[in-house]
Amino acid sequence: MGPALSRRAFLLASGMTTTGVALEIALSSTPAASSAVTPSTTTPMTTVHTVAGPHGTGGYRRLSDGPGWRRVTRTELAEAKKGRAERRTALACFVQFTDLHITDVQNPQRYEFLRAGDMGSWRPQEALTAVGAVSLIEQVNALRYGPATRAPIGFVMTTGDNTDNNSRIELEWFLTAMTGGRFTPNTGDPGAYEGVQNSGLGLYWQPDSGMRDIDKRVGFPRLDGFLEAAIREVSSPGLAIPWYSTIGNHDQLFGGAYSAAGGFFADLATGSRKLYALPASEAGAVYRALRRGDPTGAHFRAAWKRYRGKARTVTADERRAPLSPHAYIAAHLDPAYTGSGPVGHGYTRDNLDSGRLDYSFRIADGVVGISLDTTDRGGDYRGSVGTRQLAWLERTLKTHADDTALIFSHHPSWAMTNLAPNPARPHEKRHGGQELLAALRKHGNVAAWINGHSHLNKIVPHGGFWEISTASHVDYPQLARVVELADNHDGTLSLFTTLVESAAPHRTDFTDLSQNGLAALYRELSFNSPGMRSGLAGLPGDRNTELLLKKH
């Protein structure tokens, strides 16, 4: 029997606090004092109202409307004082996107073959990342107002892993989706799919085939026409509000884990040979090496070379070339991708000249945002920051000592354990999550550190501020998070967090291979994806919340 459950843990796990139910009633009926405008249309449902949930039994389960997640009030950092709902003023309202993982599933540099050693290393839904991202954009455009304070949503911040393979074409797709336009999520042969899903290998779901592959054995359907639909042109309305960009390890490193050492991965990505399978023992060894830390991909490269004779010929495509930090910033600054703004989406000419991916920006009067690059260019999926970055962060927080500060990064504190030197600055010390937490605690104006990477909803108090980590949009439950900051005018602030799903319907129709139908299927496939971790939705206290903290 495990240790006794504390009262706080019980309340978080059950979704109840002493004020949670009463507060939810107040939130649904009382607008914030600063929000005089009432939306003219019905606000779309959030996860407070309903969440896609499974029904039926068996290996493959269908989704439909499920019960919502109530709002939980958390008071570890400050008392929840009575009457605050009537007093409060909204200070800021925005949406966090994280881990969209818009993926070129035909890229030869991808390591789907690790699935032979770990089932979660490849996802049956990956070919639909583009339509899933566009559906999320459509939902935010429809939402318009914060569900708690009713303040207009001011912007969207992405917290990294916007793409999957650090490739030029994936970044083009991401930027087009965010700013609006049409794009075709296909590379290589313009008229055919050349990936693992029509390979005839039972290791992967073969949707257009009657083959009894490993996924069909647990109930995955046969869907004739799926692959043709998956590489069809996608149309995105683009975000109707400004958006900012934070970089993640998959945006900057090969496969999110390997550095550019030797040019092997660049040549592989743009070349014409793709390895579809490895023996289970070999795949397991490469996977274990990656998890321990294999920054140059030595185990990956060795395995590929041993089995290169089994690689298949595919159509080479230079658009899969990797991006340097300079090219990544330049793409954001391209006027073609300005959309609703701002120009550069946080990155400026100074970032372009220096190659640094850290910046600050004004969120609202009295509120500043700071975007921090936590990816080590030397490799490894885990994060850290350099001494120069840490000094810049501290200077920026001192400069904005009178502002409430919100920190954005890709990695959460618990995933910042990679202290390997940055090849561009080999003598500079790297600093992990605990050191970054210590630095942030020294500044009383920090209200929240908002991040992703772990594909998990998790909210942790740290002295005077909250760390808010949000689940991905590639793994179920496929969420974004609305964050609202409000002054309660009683010496406290409230941070409201509300999770939202994409605009796609919860119920799927296997005969509907339209863009909207595919977006619904994207969610359902992710729920059923074999090998995926359970519990990524987190506890109730990690989902829809009111987080109290003292006003600095």
Encode burial over 253-288: b for 16+ CB neighbours within 10 A, e otherwise.
bbbbbbbbbeebbbebbbbebbbbbbeeebbebbbe
The Cα 500–Cα 49 span in angstroms is 10
CB-based contact 546:485 (threshold 8 Å): no
Question: For residues 7 and 425, what is the distance between their CA atoms, to the nearest angstrom?
Answer: 48
3-state secondary structure of 440: helix
| Averaged pLDDT in 10-residue chunks for the chain of 552 residues | 34 36 34 33 78 90 96 98 96 98 97 94 97 98 96 98 97 98 98 96 97 96 98 98 98 93 89 96 96 94 96 97 96 98 98 96 98 95 97 98 98 96 90 98 97 98 97 97 98 98 97 98 97 94 98 92
Please report how many Cα atoms fall inside a 13 Å half-sphere around the Cα of residue 497, on the Cβ side.
Answer: 29
Strands (E), 18-134: 50-55, 62-67, 72-74, 89-97
DSSP 229: H
Q: Is 534 exposed, middle or buried (0-12, 13-18, 19+ CB in 10 A)?
A: exposed
Could you give the CA distance from residue 193 to residue 227 in angstroms, rounded to a whole number?
A: 7
**How much is the pLDDT for 261?**
65
**479-509 burial: b if 16+ Cβ within 10 Å, else e:** bbbbbbbbbbbbebbbbbbbbbbbbbbbebe
CA distances 418 to 243, 265, 407, 414, 472, Å, are 29, 21, 20, 11, 21
477-481 — which CB contacts under 8 Å span 24+ positions?
Answer: 477/51, 477/52, 477/501, 477/527, 477/536, 477/537, 478/132, 478/136, 478/502, 478/522, 478/523, 478/526, 479/47, 479/537, 480/95, 480/96, 480/97, 480/98, 480/136, 480/139, 480/140, 481/95, 481/96, 481/98
> Which pLDDT score, from 0 to 100, does residue 43 have?
56
Burial of residue 113, with CB atoms counted within 10 A of its CB: 0-12 exposed, 13-18 middle, 19 or more buried:
buried
Longest dimension (CA), the chain: 71
Which helix (H) or strand (E) segment holds residue 550: the answer is strand 545-550
In the numeric block, the tokens 């969120």 are attached to 363
CB burial of residue 41 (10 Å; 0-12, 13-18, 19+)? exposed
Return the DSSP state at 102: B
As to burial, measured by CB atoms within 10 angstroms (0-12 exposed, 13-18 middle, 19+ buried), residue 298 is: middle
Closest CA to 104 of 160, 180, 164: 164
Tokens of 317: 């495509």
Measured between alpha carbons, how far is 169 from 319 in angstroms, rounded to an integer?
Answer: 5
CA–CA dist 186, 192 (Å, integer): 8
The amino acid occupying position 189 is D
Using a 10 angstrom Cβ sphere, with 0-12 exposed, 13-18 middle and 19 or more buried, the burial of residue 134 is buried
Tally: H helices and E strands in the chain? 15, 21
The rounded distance, in Å, linking the Cα atoms of 478 and 219 is 21
Alpha helices in 316-362 (DSSP H): 325-333, 349-354
Residue with tokens 């881990």, as numbered in its chain: 99
* For the chain, the helix, strand and coil percentages under 3-state DSSP, each to the nearest 5: 30, 20, 45
Give the closest residue to 100 by CA, choosing from 73, 129, 120, 80.
129
Confidence (pLDDT) at 353: 95
The CB density around residue 211, as the number of other CB atoms within 10 Å, is 13
User: What is the separation of C-alpha 267 from the centre of its chain, rounded to a whole number of angstroms?
Assistant: 28
Provide the token pair at 353.
């000249």
